[in-house]
Amino acid sequence: MSEEINVTSTNFQKEVVESPIPVLLDFWAEWCTPCKMIAPSVGQLADAYRGKLKVGKVNVDIEGDLAAQYNVISIPTLMVFKDGAVMSQRAGALPKHDIEGLFKSIV
């Protein structure tokens, strides 16, 4: 079972900014079909990189301010954070190897 965490404005500082390992954030919504399409790949990557990469999900319908803070205008949007800074990001229903390519060089 994957260890994706629910990231909110309340725990963002602790889970993302202060994380000792890189963080892949998946900005998504319940109604978003492309978000559902990439969810299995994101979960598989969370399992494969356990301990090297933290994987979090941000529900844009609940955390609109957090999505706005990072200029998320299309979902799914995937962002990789390291030491609290955005290292890479892509929007859209990406294949698994493209998602992995967002963070592979920094884990």
Q: Which residues are catalytic?
A: 32, 35
**Angle made by CA atoms 12, 50, 84, in degrees to the nearest 5:** 30
**74: exposed, middle or buried (Cβ count in 10 Å: 0-12, 13-18, 19+):** exposed
Residue 51 structure tokens: 């301990």
What is the rounded CA–CA span in Å between residue 54 and residue 60? 19
